[in-house]
Structure 1
Amino acid sequence: MTAPKDLSPMHSRGFIQKQNNLDAIRAIVKERQAWNTLLRDEGNFNDFMERCSALLEYVDKLKLDFDDLSLVHEAILEHATSIENELEGYNRAIDDDLAVARQVQRALLPEASGAIASAFDMAIFHKQLAQVGGDYYDFFYLPGERHAIGVYDISGHGVSSALIMAFLKAQFAHATKRLDSPGAIVDWVNRSAYSFLREVRRYATVNFVMFTDRFLRYVSGGGYGLLVRRGTPRSFNRVSNFIGLRIKPFHEFELPFEEDDVLALYTDGMFEAQDASGEIYSVQRLNEIVVKHSEEPVQVILDRCIEDYTRFRVADADDITLIILRRCA
């Protein structure tokens, strides 16, 4: 509880005197008999005039105080308006920068073309939680006329993750020109980027898949992959570490991958979303949809996955990347 403020004796006496003056004037004005008595008594009349004069001085002072407060109020409003306009300008500049960043990030994401487009039927869903984000994918052409796909998820969201995405994209582009196996490529990128990623406290999941005539070889560190071959699913072995977490070898695995086989590559964005009851969308649920529709065109498989996820979740909770591809003849 807050103690009441102490009024100084001077302040109290002044207030009481003003109140007495007001009460005396009010009594005389309301009562005709009191007014007549006042006019007949010079002493009372002079006292009344003094009270009126004192009250008028008090009213004038209040008016001056009010005028001063009005000026202060106008100054505060003017300053607040200036701050608001300045903040709006900053927000517009930030929005403009983010719009440019979003366009740049979209431009960094490749379209399937050339040998990759000829080798695979492919459908892609890519959505950032904010205007820019840390999910990305890329296509690579390796020595020996081989090609590869990489799917990555940088920790965090927003501009910082998008910048690290661009940094890692450059690292992988350099590595794929020098090395020819998924394990060696991812290991080189990890060693090259490790100190920087530790400094900025970021890491990245990775799915790096290289295709040969009848097989695929992959490294999976935190990413997700599902191969459906003649109706039988085979999930990627995710034992490798994330890029930027530690320096250790990345495990490389091989699976048969021939005509009409289907491969799904995806990040964990869907599996952080919840329905109205708090249940999380599961990897098993997504994989079952891929298997169920694996005989259909890849765009249909992708659409069925996104439709089911959209019906399930209340809102997105993370960036999302899902790629469905089928090997052509």
Structure 2
Amino acid sequence: NCTITQAMNGPEALTLIENGLMPDLVLLDVMMPRMSGFDVARRLRERFAPYELPILILTAKNRATDLVAGLEAGANDYLAKPFDKQELLARVNTLLALKEAVKAHDQLTLIEQELTVARRIQRSILPTRVPHLPQLDIQVRYRPMASVGGDYYDFFEIDQQRLGILVADVSGHGVPAALVAAMIKIAFSVQKPNARSASIVLTSMNHILVDRISKQYLTAGYVYINLATRKLFHANAGHWPLLVWKQQTQTLHEYKPDGLIMGWLAEVDYGSVEIDLEPGDRVILYTDAVIEVRNETNELFGEERFHQLIKTGHTLTAAELADSILDQLQSWSKLEAGLEDDLTLMVIDVLDK
């Protein structure tokens, strides 16, 4: 189905387009009053590229010189009269299909350019190194999705015995998620004076972000570790539970204090939990891709399998466990095909030093 707008001569056709009419395709007769089809085509080509506005010239002339003149004037195609109706429709459909193909290619190119920008943003905001504390073995495994997701992690290196850790996950993908992640970095960076209070860190970050992220939200978990007192404090903003493996009792514990996701409500207070740490204990933070990776039958990897890997891998080093978990996820989901979401996994061992 199509709508046809008719002009009686060349100037009238140009006036219609100058006044806002944007046709998908123009059919021109070479022999028109006041202005030839060749002249109209030349004028149109001053404003529109061949892929933006296809032009099909119709003429009773069928000489090679006229064909060349039509193409040089900017016509995409040329059809001699008398013409077959089916051939005309076929030529029109072909030109429209080519126009749509170019448009799709341009959109794909734009998307790729946006993704390149998003990847640069993402690389620029993540830490370039992991903190080194004598009593901690910190291992981070980060795998970005193909189209750029919104995982973010960062650290407060206070001294050799105190450390703040943030893991966050922004809704959505691409440039919007990367830009929100960049805002998280800023909101987190100004929290260093509050680092020892997990609840204040998240509450203050939410105040900063709530009016600045539109139609998006984020989950986050913050951990403050004080090795001098062997204490860990954790606050949670709708994120996955913090996992702590207690070596002495050989048990895995989940901690998720109350706290809404960030970015929805301004007046939110985040509670925190206090956890005793001993040498041999293991702390694990992660984002949802670890749990929500699916296999070929669309089955989630799930919390139960993840927890079991932690339990059976308690004799491994932090690096060995992190790599083992990634290997299991890859075996489960064929990760080489590309992640559906960013994956962040952090394994922290408390050392006996």
Normalised by the size of structure 2, how large is the TM-score? 0.66
List gaps (5 residues or longer) in structure 1: 1-62
Does structure 1 conserve the Cα–Cα contact (< 8 Å) formed by 2:151 and 2:342? Answer: yes
Does structure 2 conserve the Cα–Cα contact (< 8 Å) formed by 1:222 and 1:238? Answer: no
State the one-letter code of the partner of 2:83: F
Q: Could you report, residue by residue, the CA deviation over 1:221-243 in whole angstroms, capped at 9, with x for unpaired residues?
A: 22232111212211112422211
Cα distance, 1:71–1:276 mapped onto 2, change above 3 Å = closer
Cα distance, 1:125–1:219 mapped onto 2, change above 3 Å = same
Distance in 1, Cα, partners of 2:201 & 2:282: 24
Which residue of the partner structure matches residue 233 of structure 1? Answer: 252
2:109 is the alignment partner of 1:92? yes
2:203 is the alignment partner of 1:191? no
2:270 is the alignment partner of 1:256? no
Cα distance, 1:121–1:144 mapped onto 2, change above 3 Å = closer
State the one-letter code of the partner of 1:107: S
Which residue of the partner structure matches residue 206 of structure 1? Answer: 220
Displacement of 1:219 after TM fit?
0.5
Cα distance, 1:179–1:294 mapped onto 2, change above 3 Å = closer
Which residue of the partner structure matches residue 331 of structure 2? Answer: 311
State the one-letter code of the partner of 1:125: R
Which residue of the partner structure matches residue 64 of structure 1? Answer: 81
Displacement of 1:206 after TM fit?
1.1
Aligned equivalent of 2:234, options 218, 231, 247: 218
Which residue of the partner structure matches residue 58 of structure 1? Answer: none
Cα distance, 1:115–1:96 mapped onto 2, change above 3 Å = same
Does structure 1 conserve the Cα–Cα contact (< 8 Å) formed by 2:164 and 2:195? Answer: no
Q: Could you report, residue by residue, the CA deviation over 1:166-207 in whole angstroms, capped at 9, with x for unpaired residues?
A: 11111010122455411111111112222233xx12221111
SS of the counterpart of 2:210?
helix
List gaps (5 residues or longer) in structure 2: 1-79
Distance in 1, Cα, partners of 2:99 & 2:302: 50
SS of the counterpart of 1:239?
coil
Cα distance, 1:110–1:119 mapped onto 2, change above 3 Å = farther
Which residue of the partner structure matches residue 308 of structure 2? Answer: 288
Displacement of 1:89 after TM fit?
4.3
Which residue of the partner structure matches residue 31 of structure 1? Answer: none
Aligned CA-pair RMSD? 3.0
Cα distance, 1:70–1:311 mapped onto 2, change above 3 Å = same
Aligned equivalent of 2:264, options 224, 229, 245: 245
Which residue of the partner structure matches residue 349 of structure 2? Answer: 326
Does structure 1 conserve the Cα–Cα contact (< 8 Å) formed by 2:291 and 2:306? Answer: no
Does structure 1 conserve the Cα–Cα contact (< 8 Å) formed by 2:198 and 2:224? Answer: yes
State the one-letter code of the partner of 1:321: T
Displacement of 1:268 after TM fit?
1.7
Cα distance, 1:178–1:324 mapped onto 2, change above 3 Å = closer
State the one-letter code of the partner of 2:345: L
Aligned residues between the structures: 265
Displacement of 1:87 after TM fit?
4.5
Which residue of the partner structure matches residue 42 of structure 2? Answer: none
Displacement of 1:158 after TM fit?
2.4
Distance in 2, Cα, partners of 1:318 & 1:67: 53
Displacement of 1:72 after TM fit?
7.9
Does structure 2 conserve the Cα–Cα contact (< 8 Å) formed by 1:281 and 1:312? Answer: yes
State the one-letter code of the partner of 1:227: V
Aligned equivalent of 1:269, options 272, 279, 289: 289
Aligned equivalent of 1:110, options 127, 130, 143: 127
2:312 is the alignment partner of 1:298? no
Between 1 and 2, higher relative CO (CA 8 Å, sep ≥ 6) is seen in 1
Matches of residues 105-184 of structure 1 in structure 2 within 5 Å? 105-116=122-133, 118-142=134-158, 146-177=162-193, 180-184=196-200
Cα distance, 1:111–1:287 mapped onto 2, change above 3 Å = farther
Cα distance, 1:145–1:256 mapped onto 2, change above 3 Å = closer
Distance in 2, Cα, partners of 1:122 & 1:180: 19
Normalised by the size of structure 1, how large is the TM-score? 0.70
Sequence identity percentage: 24
Identify which range, 236-245 or 78-87, moves more after superposition.
Answer: 78-87
SS of the counterpart of 2:81?
helix
Which residue of the partner structure matches residue 4 of structure 2? Answer: none
Does structure 2 conserve the Cα–Cα contact (< 8 Å) formed by 1:270 and 1:318? Answer: no
